[in-house]
Chains A and B, each alone.
Chain A
Amino acid sequence: MKITLGTVTHPGGSRVNKTGAWRTAGKPRFLHKNCIACDVCALGCPEGCIFGTGQRTYYANEDFCKGCGICASGCPVHDIEMIPEGGEDA
């Protein structure tokens, strides 16, 4: 890895710089039971790291999820819960 003069960085740096390790308050678990594919979890995610293509397909990319819990509190059908780190995969 190269450190440039003035630590200039090119676009795409945040893909390499994984911030998932910043999580301190648990992570989301997608229950995949009541999901209606409304996309609220993905739209509300401040990291833009929740993806899904239809009912019961949503997941968070843990390399970037900071565990803020906005997806779980915003889900209209309570299909996401926050679980401690080291629990089941999201």
Chain B
Amino acid sequence: MLKGRMIQGCRAIAEAVTLCRPRVISAYPITPQTLIVEELASIVADGGLDTEFINVEGEHSAASLVLGSSAVGVRVFTATSSQGLLYMGEVVFNIAGMRLPIVMINANRAVSAPLNIWNDQQDSISMRDSGWIQLYAENNQEACDLVFQAYRIAEDHRVMLPVMVCVDGFVLPHAFEVVDLPSQKEVDAYLPPYQPIYKLDPDNPLTMGAFTEPDKYMEARYMIQRTMEASIPIIEEVAREFKRTFGHAAGGLFEKYRVDDASTVVVALGSMAGTTKDVVDDLRNKGQKVGVLRLITYRPFPEEALYEALKGAQNIVVIEKALSLGGSAPLAVELRSVFHGRPASPKISGFVIGLGGRDVTTDDLKYAIEKAQQQLINMEFIGLRTDLELEGINA
């Protein structure tokens, strides 16, 4: 029997954040993140969390506010989505460069234009180079579990980098699922109070985010890159300890589902993996050796572990809710670089799917798998309508 409560994702995530005891929360409402911060606001208003909940006039301010609060040496939280994440952009890069262990929930949503409030992952994928660790949740249980792990990873003195927990907009925060949340005592034991290395303090003044000339800037960026690489085993360690403490698995670099003897492996991020697992079960029943590798940690990109996990496959089918316009399917491209110049060389096909909230159906996934088994697909859109005239394209 499932443990836990039937609860809406936004409420579950807000309760998970509450259990982490952030001292400052600032966010600006944007669909589909809004419900999460509304739930947090009501928890604070009901006296359920001793924190400063600060309303601001936009996401640039929300990010700046948590930046400053984190610099003072306290645990902070923010959440956003889509245009809000892009509007934060400047500060997002600053937070990473200043090595502030901020945790943010990004409710993944399509990016304008055209204006669209539904789910894809273009927003966070566009922020992949910002220096944030990015974790992608499959369901609401994992979204909550990743929040606890995110603070552990971010605040580890060997890391000191911000973590973005990405949850597919609407698919997770608006859905009701059974979620098992730990007690405050358990979370306190797993997540000790934040100990900053540096903090702003009038009695012991220092400067953060100072001007750096060409003679030092490159070293500062190199330090982030090396730390990103070094955080891969730390992310695994935090997930292992999570399982020991709470009794169920969550987080880590990726989840392998029926991968080990598979000749075709689908690679996906976030909630799509759930549908894909059903497709895999279906195809397995028909005798096909298919599996799913659900990538959880997208930044840092766990190159070596991915090579080891996927080197036995003949076909890799990457399905993505994002694309690099004028380029290709970003995860497929990156995965190809993992195998470049190495003994194993599976065919890696890239498919763009479900943009702007279009349903990702089992038929779509079966089509992609079948297509990739027949030939290498550089990049193809799945589920495009054929009944429309597209000016400048086919009209």
Contact = CB atoms under 8 A, between A and B. Distances in A.
A3 B216 contact: yes
B220 A8 contact: no
B198 A6 contact: yes
Contacts of B98: 6
A3 B98 CA distance: 12
A4 B210 CA distance: 11
The binding surface of chain B is classed by DSSP as: loop
Nearest to A17: B213
Interface in B204-239: 205-210, 212, 216, 219-220, 223
B160 interface: yes
Contacts of B206: 8-11
A53 interface: no
Interface in B80-107: 97-100
B197 interface: yes
Nearest to A8: B198
B219 A3 contact: yes
Q: How large is the interface on B (under 10, 10 to 19, 20 to 34, 35 or more residues)?
A: 10 to 19
B209 A7 contact: yes
Contacts of A9: 206-207, 210
Nearest to B99: A6
A86 interface: no
Contacts of B212: 7
Contacts of A13: 207, 210
A13 B206 CA distance: 10
B158 to A, nearest CB: 11
Nearest to B100: A6
Given A3-B216, A3-B220, A8 B207 contact: yes
A74 B160 CA distance: 49
Contacts of B219: 3
Contacts of B160: 5-6
Contact of B99 (A5, A10, A11): A5
A3 B219 CA distance: 8
Interface of A: 3-11, 13
14 contacts: A3-B220, A3-B223, A4-B198, A5-B160, A5-B197, A5-B223, A6-B98, A6-B160, A6-B208, A7-B97, A7-B212, A10-B206, A10-B207, A11-B207
Given A4-B198, A6-B160, A9-B207, 14 more contacts: A3-B216, A5-B99, A6-B97, A6-B99, A6-B208, A7-B209, A7-B210, A7-B216, A8-B207, A10-B205, A10-B207, A11-B205, A11-B206, A13-B210
